[in-house]
Structure 1
Amino acid sequence: MTTNEWVIPFYKNQFEWLRDIEPEMASYLQKDAEKIEEQIGARFESMLDIGAGIGSIARALDAHGITMTTLELVPELVEASRLRSPKTIDIHMGDFYTYTFPTQFDVVSYFDGFGIGTDDDQLTLLKRMKSWMKNEGFALIDIYNPNYWRTIAAGQKMKIDEAERIYSFDEENCRMIDSWWHNENPEEVVTQSLRCYTVDEISALCKKAGLTITGIFPGGAMDFDKWAYTETAALSSCLSYRIKLIKTT
């Protein structure tokens, strides 16, 4: 299995075009780390974060005493993570469809990115995440909500630092489409496409992988008319929701 061709160029360019706002996000990342611990609801010591980007959330959890391991595909993001992270974080570069780990973890997470590829790809990934979880472990995954991307975000365009972006929605395949270009090169567009799932759809997919959802946590939503972000929205209107999973079998 090969990762979609858009993945590396999209996230590489997104990283290069955005200014470094991590220092400004310190308090937010601290709150997110606390939220993750609250959502797990049990003591855990080790965690694998896949699709980890530059490792921001891993550093926040490392500061809480969690033994963190990360996996990221894009070389530029891995390099940035290694430059910024303490030696206590075990940083890996590779494709989560093929990479292997010699150990299991109390928690396996995938934040802000689930939905790359087909439903079969997602099923394969869920099975792999299950294999990385300890028997009494948990998984946390952010799932994109189709209602938000279909009815609220589609057609919205914005400028962000050196880039511009526009959202659209692929109704036939139930995918959010997020297209970016540098403001000096509007003809060179990079696009991410992520499968969105209703709660029933993702529950059925998890069941096939031998996983059971034990918690659902709605995320935030953007009010584009007021240009205001609400950190927690209703499940029906949030841009994504987080699910907590345990092993079924």
Structure 2
Amino acid sequence: MTTDQWVIPFYQKQFKWLRDAEAEMANYLQIEANNIEEQIGIEFNSMLDIGAGIGSIARALDARGIAMTTLELVPDLVEAARRRSPKSIDIHLGDFYTYTFPKQFDVVSYFDGFGIGTDEDQLNLLKRMKSWVKDDGSLLIDIYHPNYWRTIAAGQKMKIDDAERIYSFDEEHCRMIDSWWHNEHPEEIVTQSLRCYTVDEASSMCEKAGLTITGIFPGGAMDFDNWTYKETAPLSGCLSYRIKLTKTI
């Protein structure tokens, strides 16, 4: 599999244009670490987080004594993670479809990014994630919900720090489209495109990978009328939902 050409340029630009607000996110990161521990439901000692970005979640869990390993494709993000992280976090730069690990983990996660490439790519990634987790371990994956992107987000435009963005929805391929540009250079647009899945579609794909959904956790949603973010929303109206997976017996 060849990674889509948009991936590295998009996330490089996004990282460059956004203000460094990690210090302001401290409370959010602790809440997210709590959520992860609650969603796994049992004590775990090791975790691999792929698509880890600058490693914020990894640092929050490392501080709780979890042996964290991260895998990220974008060099700029990996460099930032290495500058900010303690030596206890094992940070890797590489492609999810070719990178290998010499050990397995209690938990393998992919937050806020699943859906790059084709359905076949997603299936292959699930199989690779399955190979990285222990037989009695769990996976946590965020899945974008098509209802939200089709009916709520499509057409919405916003400004964030030095950037502007607009959402759209590719109905034929069931993909959310997220286009960004620097506010001083609107002609230079970078776009991410992520496949959205209903719960039934996600469940069917996971079954093909030898995985079973054992938990579903709806995420939040943006209220564009009032310009506020709701931390929790109904499954049918959430931006994304998180699934917990175990190996099928």
1:113 aligns with 2:113: yes
Unpaired stretches in structure 1, ≥5 consecutive residues: none
Matching residue's letter, 1:108 = V
After superposition, the C-alpha distances for 1:200-220 in whole angstroms (9 at most, x for unaligned) are 000000000000000000000
CA-CA distance at 1:64 after TM superposition: 0.8
Matched with 1:209 is: 209
Q: CA deviation at 1:96?
A: 0.4
Q: Distance in 1 between matches of 2:149 and 2:235?
A: 13
Query: How many positions carry a matched residue from both structures?
Result: 249
The one-letter code of the counterpart of 1:14 is Q
Q: Counterparts of 1:31 and 1:61 in 2: how far apart (Å)?
A: 11
Name the structure 2 match of 1:34: 34
CA distance in 2, matches of 1:228, 1:183: 22
Q: TM-score, normalised by structure 1?
A: 1.00
Q: Give the whole-Å Cα distance in 2 for the aligned partners of 1:97 and 1:165.
A: 29
1:85 paired residue number: 85
Q: Where does residue 12 of structure 2 map in the other structure?
A: 12
> CA shift at 1:244, angstroms?
0.1
Q: State how far apart, in whole Å, the 1-side matches of 2:230 and 2:186 are.
A: 30
Matched-pair identity in %? 82
Structure 2 residue runs without a partner (length 5+)? none
**Tell me, what secondary structure is at the counterpart of 2:27?**
helix
Aligned-partner SS, 1:188:
strand
Say whether 1:3 aligns with 2:16: no
1:9 partner SS: helix
Residues in 1 aligned to 2:87 and 2:232: alpha-carbon distance in whole angstroms = 34
How big is the alpha-carbon RMSD for the aligned residues of Structure 1 and Structure 2? 0.4
For 1:1-249, what aligned pairs fall within 5 Å after superposition?
A: 1-249=1-249
| Partner Cα separation in structure 2 for residue 231 and residue 194 of structure 1 | 21
Superimposed CA distance per residue, residues 24-53 of structure 1 (whole angstroms, 9 cap, x where no aligned partner): 000110110011000000110000000000
How far the C-alpha of 1:81 sits from its partner, in A, is 0.1
Question: Residue by residue, what CA displacement relative to the aligned partner does 1:197-242 show, whole Å, maximum 9, x if unpaired?
Answer: 0000000000000000000000000000100100010000000000
**Cα displacement string for residues 69-104 of structure 1 (whole angstroms, at most 9, x for unaligned residues):** 000000000000000000000000000011000000
Q: How many angstroms apart in 2 are the aligned matches of 1:59 and 1:8?
A: 23
Question: How far has the Cα of 1:155 moved from its partner?
Answer: 0.0
TM-score by length of 2: 1.00
